[in-house]
Amino acid sequence: MNGLNDMQSAAVQYTDGPLLLLAGAGSGKTRVLTHRVAYLIEEKGVAPYNILAITFTNKAAGEMRERVDRIVSFGAESVWVSTFHSLCVRILRRHIDNLDYQTNFTIYDSDDQKAVVKECLKKLNMDSKQYPERGIMAEISRAKERFISPAEFDREASGNYRKMQVARVYNEYQTKLKQSNALDFDDLLYKTVELFQFHPEILKNYQDRFRYIMVDEYQDTNHIQFLLIKQLAAKYRNLCVVGDDDQSIYKFRGANIYNILNFEEEYPEARVIKLEQNYRSTKNILKAANGVISHNEGRKDKALWTELPEGDKVTFSLFDTEYQEAESVVREIAKMHKNEGKTYNYFAILYRTNAQSRIFEEKLLMQNIPYKIIGGQNFYGRREVKDLICYLKVVDNGRDDMAVRRIINVPKRGIGAASLDKIQAYADTYEMGLLDAMFEASNVPGLNRAAAKVEGFTNLILDFRDLLKAGMSLSELYDAILERTGYQDELVAEHTEESEARLENLAELKNKIVQYEQEAEYPTLSELLEEIALVADVDSLEESEDKVLLMTLHSAKGLEFPCVFLGGMEDRLFPSGMALNSDDPDAVEEERRLCYVGITRAKEKLYLSAARQRMMHGTANFNPISRFVKEIPEDVIEKNGEGAFAMRRQMESLQQAKRDLASRGATVSSKPYSYQKNAVTGTPAFGKEFRVERMEIDYGVGDTVEHVKFGTGVVTALVSGGKDYEVTVDFEKVGVKRMFASFAKLKKVN
């Protein structure tokens, strides 16, 4: 018991009956759990065989196993430490024959599941475009998480045509799995609960086996996991659940926060112990976290505290654009690395969505700062981003055979590998590129019916090229590719967490294209692809663990970093627009819990930032500063000069100006502006307030103006941002051009 505080010791020693251990961030819960195992064995004389500890990940299970082995002198190997899925596999391998399966069942991964669903759709004569495989898989998974059988799902679907169709697939899917003696990952839990429900004698055997049960991260359990634990603990009720309702952030995966909030209703005799002492963060960081999370109503009352020093105040910075935000974050990292000797792994950059990583990645590359994406790929390495870039490459010149191969069947066009091999053989014979061979598909021997499908693809590429030649902008071309290929519709129809993230990444790629168009004097597709290629080339980075870490807030859970930059602190981004518009009263509260998780990742320094103007889906958005920033107590946050909240008034005036301009037929600029420089040093600085100094122009829409290079033209649109105007001019000699007024130096022609 050495080294444990009073509350930790109490949690270790309370072993009889239900226990709810509310373990705040950084409060040492894993230490408590392992010491509890040791106490049960060495002080209470419990047989290691009778102890079950459940974690959510194999990594967590491995770490707990190591710790238990270190502190338990004898019998540690007999303690069951496992994930939910591994526990269920062990049980089913012994007993699934009672459910008319063979014990040597196969476990299907997501690719196997998709293949089975595809077969089901084909058999049921259902259109995979209308009912995408992954969307169906997600609905079946949600049903199993709720312990809903195909028959029950069918009854629930009554009157809802789509759900009735899904019910047909669900039933056929389970039939095919049964025929193949196979289970998917959801089945592992479902079938175990089903086994215990219909075979109480088997359940009793495991109840007697696992007399002491501990469950980590209980706030992340879903309904079927709740049912499994309830079954196993029903006889002896020696159940210790450990979790933090303030860190329940996986509702989208099926997690049910009410499992932990209603624990005392399920187990009225339960004792509740709160671990509130934090060993990770400074006082100011914890005050910020407590200030934010206290605004949630659906939570257990608790507040983190620490004996660590006050530390630096939390810094909040408001920038004109997301580009300034990212550049300033990177500059601050570079400064602390150079001046204070901080290693790069001292820093973590966190964000709400994966798509936000793109700008940070580019700025880090420009500064030659090594980085690593946790829980995902580099932006330009993501599947959907590579797909669309390959489409652009093929439209540009078509000489990249790898790009052609990548997209020929994305989305699926029914052009199989055998057909592609025949086209390649034809290309090799006549020494031409793959795309050129496709243009001659009717001449390819043995291609037969596939020739028409290939021609459909080549005609699409030709159409895109014609649109570009006719003057279509690159961003409009990008939209056309997404729409006419069916790529976007397929992702929308899928309606899964993965597809939503992929759509966000595609929107961010469009932001990149729009940014390029605005910055390039003569934007071309070739130059755009060249710029992307240079940014995407990260091979020059040396392999080292000393890297800045980038990750979403969800990926950051369970981790800690000395210095954290949390970007995009704006309403409609964080909290998300979906949460703000949701009918679910818990939606914003879950976002606030996610913010709490982000704040409590920081040990020493925490930087929050927002942008007045952020490009989303290729257009400029003026979002308010996140309500979560406002919820941080004034005495622990540094808010830039007059205060960041004064910026809200400035932003609102900009929004009014935007509306005024829109009423006169103008649009809003999404052009990233240059930094507001420090008046003394002349250099941008993180945390400095930007002044809004609007330039004056003497022309408007319809006026004739003169440019020193392009000659005379007519102003067709004015675009207003914070400090500048974007002007669209139809020049007599060179056509339509977009430019900033401050650079264009246009003169009104009377």
Check: CB of residue 480 under 8 Å from CB of residue 467: yes
SS3 call for 510:
helix
Sequence-separated (6 or more) residues with CB below 8 Å from residue 200? none
Query: Has 191 been annotated as catalytic?
Result: no
Measured CA to CA, the distance from residue 480 to residue 224 in angstroms comes to 44
Taking the chain, what is the end-to-end CA distance rounded to the nearest angstrom? 88
Query: Has 299 been annotated as catalytic?
Result: no
Let me know how long the chain is.
750
Nearest to 492 by CA among 484, 414, 509, 501: 501
∠ CA 319-323-324, rounded to 5°: 40
CA distances from 539 to 11, 284, 357, 378, 676 (A): 49, 39, 18, 12, 33
Query: Has 217 been annotated as catalytic?
Result: yes
Check: CB of residue 19 under 8 Å from CB of residue 32: no
Check: CB of residue 630 under 8 Å from CB of residue 648: no
Measured CA to CA, the distance from residue 49 to residue 210 in angstroms comes to 8
Give the residues across from 747 on adjacent strands.
706
Asked, as a colleague might, if the bond just before 411 is cis with ω within 30 of 0, I would say yes
Query: Has 216 been annotated as catalytic?
Result: yes
Which of these is catalytic: 13, 30, 83, 619? Answer: 30
Nearest to 23 by CA among 353, 280, 243, 217: 243
Q: Tell me the backbone φ, ψ of residue 574, rounded to 5 degrees.
A: -150, 100
Which of these is catalytic: 34, 113, 225, 247? Answer: 247
Measured CA to CA, the distance from residue 191 to residue 193 in angstroms comes to 5
Which of these is catalytic: 186, 187, 216, 440? Answer: 216
Which of these is catalytic: 172, 184, 187, 217? Answer: 217
Query: Has 29 been annotated as catalytic?
Result: yes
Which of these is catalytic: 601, 614, 639, 738? Answer: 601
CA 538 remoteness from chain centre:
22
The pairing of strands 561-566 and 548-552 is unpaired
Looking up tokens 């399966």 gives 101
Measured CA to CA, the distance from residue 375 to residue 573 in angstroms comes to 20
* Strand spans (E) along 173-286: 182-184, 212-215, 239-243, 271-275
Query: Has 716 been annotated as catalytic?
Result: no
What is the CB neighbour count within 10 angstroms for residue 659?
A: 10
Positions annotated as catalytic residues are 29-30, 216-217, 247, 601
